[in-house]
Amino acid sequence: MSAKMQTQRQNLHILSGDYRLILNKVYENNLITQREYNNLKSINNANAETYVNDLVDKIMNKGEDKCKDFLNLLQTDGAIKETFPQLASLQCSATRWEYVTGKIRPVGLFVIINNKNFKDGSQRRGTDKDAQSLAEVFSWLGFRVLMCEDLNKDQMDQALTFVASLADMSHFVDPQQVLEHGDAFICSILSHGKKGVVLGTDRNPLPIKEITRKFRGCDQSVLTGKPKVFLIQACQGSNIQRAVQMNDMEIDDDTSPLTIPEEADVLVAMATVEDHASLRHIVDGSWFVQSLCEQLKERCPRGEDIVSILHYVNDDVAHRETSLLAKQMPEVRFTLRKKLVLQPQCT
């Protein structure tokens, strides 16, 4: 864990020292509603840190201005300054709120499903390079990375169902390890695919719509109102813009009373457009994933949002071609209501 992340967890622990003072001050300064105040006061069977977590989530989901007002309150209110002198050095500029990407606790959970070895004996060579690049970049961005390898269709479906609720992840992680969604959820699936689906290692299809549907907003979901991003490296058909011999490239074929739509806050970035193939180098990895990682490393420190970064990925991949002029065009679709800014957590 980086020094910055340790400081963020320490700040959460500090606020837990007198959470009722913080709650009262937040309400007095109109950062939460009467109803939210009453609900937070009445939470049962929760420790102090849980109270603070819930309070911070409420404020951060209200927008950048409320988030800045909260940080300003922590640094300027007399009673808070007297009770929590450790917060004097807290920097307002440390929080970039558009979609909150975690400033009090880890940014969120990043799940990679990396299907390399298929039941028919075939391999997706180069996919380990993609998985490693993604893990490194999103760890740098402060995400907890969970890697799942060589899952058949049912195992993919089960893993994603569990991740959506974090109900029982004992099959995938050490039971003693605590997983939490944090402020954003990102999933990358590296596999073969066909139109509208990704394939398990048994080559049975799992519809992409079914995957994203598992993470739809609902009253009970802690991910409601938070960004959910899906990065899909898989073909969506077998068409190639020109018939070519691929040489060393392979194809991956065969806040109250506010409400929001249940399909809100989702982004799906596909390596290729519908009906077409995506390209993957057998050593260097796929065009799409490698371009994505390069652009994230270059542009996240500048504060650019994920959609803007994906524009650069689209342009970069569109300019690439094999020696025989095979091309690829990624596609991005989203229902994000705000900009999603991911910032490096390591200095």
Q: Is residue 99 part of a domain?
A: no
Say what the pTM is.
0.66
- Answer whether residue 91 shows pLDDT above 90: no
Catalytic residue ranges:
192, 235
Domain CATH code at residue 29: 1.10.533
pLDDT tens profile 152-186 = 999 999 999 988 877 544 455 554 455 566 788 99
Strand partners, 143: 108
- Position with higher pLDDT, 80 vs 340: 340
pLDDT tens profile 219-251 = 566 777 889 999 999 999 888 655 344 456 666
Least confident of 128-142, 259-273, 305-319: 259-273
Average pLDDT of the residues in 37-49: 67
Same domain, 145 and 45: no
Phi then psi for 149, rounded to 5 degrees? -120, 140
| H/E element, 332 | strand 331-334
Cα 248 to Cα 228: distance, rounded to the nearest angstrom: 34
Average pLDDT of the residues in 80-98: 54
Beta carbons within 8 Å of 193's beta carbon, 6+ residues apart = 199, 232, 234, 235, 236, 252, 253, 278
Same domain, 113 and 84: no
User: In the block, which residue shows the tokens 């020292």?
Assistant: 17
pLDDT computed for residue 333 by the predictor: 96
- Pick from 154, 153, 15: nearest CA to 90: 15
- Pick from 260, 305, 257, 255: nearest CA to 98: 305
pLDDT computed for residue 254 by the predictor: 57
For β-strands 108-114 and 143-149, DSSP reports them as parallel
Answer for the pair 263, 276: CB distance below 8 angstroms, yes or no: no
Domain CATH code at residue 244: 3.40.50.1460
Task: Provide the H-helix boundaries in 172-229.
Answer: 208-213
Q: Is residue 272 part of a domain?
A: yes
| DSSP per-residue letters across 132-149 | HHHHHHHHHTTEEEEEEE
User: What is the identity of the amino acid at 263?
Assistant: E
Q: How many helices (H) and strands (E) does the chain have?
A: 11, 12
The domain of 38 spans 3-94
Beta carbons within 8 Å of 292's beta carbon, 6+ residues apart = 134, 231, 269, 309, 310, 313
Average pLDDT, rounded, for the chain: 79
User: Where a domain ends, among 94, 122, 139?
Assistant: 94
Q: Is residue 135 part of a domain?
A: yes
| Cα 128 → chain centroid | 20
- Backbone φ/ψ region at 225: left (φ over 0), alpha (ψ -120 to 50), beta: left
Torsion of the alpha carbons at 274, 280, 285 and 289, rounded to the nearest 10: -10
Phi then psi for 124, rounded to 5 degrees? -95, 85
- Position with higher pLDDT, 270 vs 54: 270
Domain count of the fold of the chain: 2
Q: Is residue 69 part of a domain?
A: yes
Same domain, 140 and 42: no
Same domain, 35 and 175: no
Same domain, 89 and 115: no
Q: Is residue 220 part of a domain?
A: yes
Answer for the pair 143, 296: CB distance below 8 angstroms, yes or no: no
Same domain, 156 and 285: yes
pLDDT computed for residue 97 by the predictor: 32
Q: Is residue 268 part of a domain?
A: yes
Phi then psi for 84, rounded to 5 degrees? -125, 70
